[in-house]
Amino acid sequence: MPENRQVLIASVPEGPLQTSHFELRTGASPTLGADQVLCRTLALTIGAGQRAGGLKGSASNAYNPREGIVMRGTGVARVEASNSPSFAAGDLVVGPTGWQAYSAQDSTALQRVEPGTDPALQLGGLGTNGLSAYFGLLDVGAPRAGETVVVSAAAGSVGHIAGQIAKLQGCRVVGVAGSPAKCDMLTNELGFDASVNYKDADFRAALEAATPDRIDVYFDNTGGDILGSALFRMNTHGRIVCCGVVSQYDTANPAPGPRGIPGLLVSTRVRMEGFLVFDYADRYEEARRQIREWVSAGQLKLKITEFQGLDSAPQAFVDLLGGATTGTTIVRV
Amino acid sequence: MPENRQVLIASVPEGPLQTSHFELRTGASPTLGADQVLCRTLALTIGAGQRAGGLKGSASNAYNPREGIVMRGTGVARVEASNSPSFAAGDLVVGPTGWQAYSAQDSTALQRVEPGTDPALQLGGLGTNGLSAYFGLLDVGAPRAGETVVVSAAAGSVGHIAGQIAKLQGCRVVGVAGSPAKCDMLTNELGFDASVNYKDADFRAALEAATPDRIDVYFDNTGGDILGSALFRMNTHGRIVCCGVVSQYDTANPAPGPRGIPGLLVSTRVRMEGFLVFDYADRYEEARRQIREWVSAGQLKLKITEFQGLDSAPQAFVDLLGGATTGTTIVRV
């Protein structure tokens, strides 16, 4: 059996995440039980939401983090050996590999990946990031051509896709991001109509200037002050898509909700709706077909920040939470 | 011409409302312009929302309050004289009479009231209170039989109707109110399954005990801490109907929104939606027919707190905001 390498939770973080919250372990690769599949991880994706679900635990998560367990995560893997009739050595799969080189997976936990697919595409545009952007924008936000859509964390894994899908619907699209370089990428490379740096002192005025017809759909990946600012800029019967809360993940004390909730929701008749992509599982294939089509036609550009080697996963996560990455964060294992 | 009596805004309140924010004036009744109707006010309704719209002004209100103008309000009136072919002396109408005995109204501002209708019924169950309860609960909240519905300000003008309509849908209904007497009224007189006093120190625990299957629809008339508590008790895919913000009206400084927004909306996929009844104007008659039917069949009890005489309107408003009234607050002029 090959040697396994794993990234463990060394301690559960209370405040901002550091690489010291993780440790590396080397050991034997797992043995297979009945109907299990030995997976060799090829690439992992890291998302900001894992800071909440994977490292804080919550009522809605069956899994709660604790010292000494392998960090949870989704990866693309190659099947090395199989005790299941559903998979054979050489198959490409996606599943809950965790941050480790090898894992024994129940065959029911795995989904087959089309041969030849770049793991980064599978984990980004065709993974929960792309699917969240697709269903969150189109189903929850339901923008109409000509409307103004604002996306926060717009250079991030979900945001950069959501904004481009909004453009494909004929909307005016404004991205909110945290650096001039990210803002430039949105407008110069990804076709956003405007972008605003939320770290600028005059952010609120800049957001107003960028949304002369106010906001019809706000795709919220951040919560916090950006949500508060967008809320006061919503049009009557606008929709706020609550996709993520990146402003609140890396802290022990979530901030209060924005002023104006619920008063402003009443006077503007705004709908604010949380969603999780897993509720749309029976429509994943529809979304993946459409996303592949857009990518092939050059209408949707998928951004990726790549890290090399399993050992780099903790740093990748810290960089992601610190705003140093763009698009989907991928670790090639 | 008969003498007119009017209640004017003496000063725009900054903090809690007092009767000294109003003053009475006596003068000539108005003269009629083209297509105008002379209305003799029979009864006024006062709602907590007027503390916001009528006495604070807001971007969504064309009318902003200022010293020296007649306090705005909706009333039922008898037509005394008419320059309009649409109305004749003796007709019963409802319209923006304001807090005064006589007013000259554009005929287009008035709606005819079925002869013989008690003004209190027209202004309560058939007015914006009843209509808000009807559309807010059924259209925005969309409860299904067997679900748990929680209503705040449940003894109030909208709440006591919303709760009873929820019972008629086969729901378990829990009312939140601010006194033992109100709580008793909800369960003993109006058929609520349970009631909770939000002023009790153990409110949150009591709300939990009253909602063993958690909350599917929360009909929010208050905002503030009650909303915060309900939010943490919502079921997956629950709906929060944002109807009013009575906890925030009588203050110059609205509180921040509840902790958990938007994070909890994401993890529970809760939809939170503001609404104003005026958006449903083309369906008012459908709702009024249904409400009359329920009232006639004894399935819906309409509670009213009555005040006698125009002079009592300021005290009625202060009492309403202080929680001393139940059901619809009516001033017989």
List of domains in chain A: 3-124+303-332 (3.90.180.10), 128-278 (3.40.50.720)
Question: Is the predicted pLDDT of residue B237 greater than 50, yes or no?
Answer: yes
The model's pLDDT over A74-105, given as tens digits with 9 standing for 90+, comes to 999 999 999 999 999 999 999 999 999 999 99
Residues of chain A in contact with residue B255, where contact means CB-CB under 8 angstroms, are 259
d(CA B251, CA B296): 39
Q: What is the DSSP string of B216-259?
A: EEEEESS-HHHHHHHHTTEEEEEEEEE---HHHHTSSSPPPBPT
β-pairing, B234-242 with B271-274?
parallel
Q: Which of A251-255, B57-61, B67-71, B113-117 has the lowest mean pLDDT?
A: B57-61
Question: Is the predicted pLDDT of residue B55 greater than 80, yes or no?
Answer: no
> What number is the ipTM of this complex?
0.85
Chain B positions touching chain A (beta carbons under 8 Å): 52, 58-60, 220, 223, 227, 240, 242-245, 248, 254-276, 279
Residues of chain A in contact with residue B266, where contact means CB-CB under 8 angstroms, are 242-245, 274-276
Rounded mean pLDDT, A241-262: 80
Q: Which of A47-56, A144-153, B118-127, B153-162 has the lowest mean pLDDT?
A: A47-56
- What confidence category does residue A60 fall into, taking pLDDT thresholds of 50, 70 and 90? very low
Contact A274 B268 (CB under 8 A): yes
DSSP A90: T
Q: What residues contact residue A19 under an 8 Å CB cut-off, 6+ apart?
A: A314, A315, A318
Q: Kindly give the interhelix angle for A128-135 and A159-168, rounded to the nearest 10 degrees.
A: 40
Chain A positions touching chain B (beta carbons under 8 Å): 52, 58-60, 220, 223, 227, 236, 240, 242-245, 248, 254-276, 279
DSSP-based helix, strand, coil % in chain A, nearest 5: 30, 30, 40
User: b/e map of A77-96 (b: 16 or more CB within 10 Å)?
Assistant: bbbbbbebeebeeebbbbbe
The Cβ of residue B126 has, within 10 Å, a number of other Cβ atoms equal to 24
- What confidence category does residue A51 fall into, taking pLDDT thresholds of 50, 70 and 90? confident
Question: Helices (DSSP H) in A274-312: which residue ranges?
Answer: 284-296
The Cβ of residue B170 has, within 10 Å, a number of other Cβ atoms equal to 12
The model's pLDDT over A185-206, given as tens digits with 9 standing for 90+, comes to 999 999 999 999 999 999 999 9
Contact B257 A260 (CB under 8 A): yes
CA distance B220 to chain A (A): 9
Residues of chain A in contact with residue B264, where contact means CB-CB under 8 angstroms, are 274
DSSP A189: I
| Nearest CA among B7, B1, B16 for reference residue B322 | B16
User: What pTM, to 2 d.p., does this model score?
Assistant: 0.89
Q: How far apart are the first and last CA of chain A?
A: 18
Helix (H, G, I), strand (E, B) or coil at B294: helix
d(CA A36, CA A23): 27
- Res A59: pLDDT: 43
- Res B59: pLDDT: 43
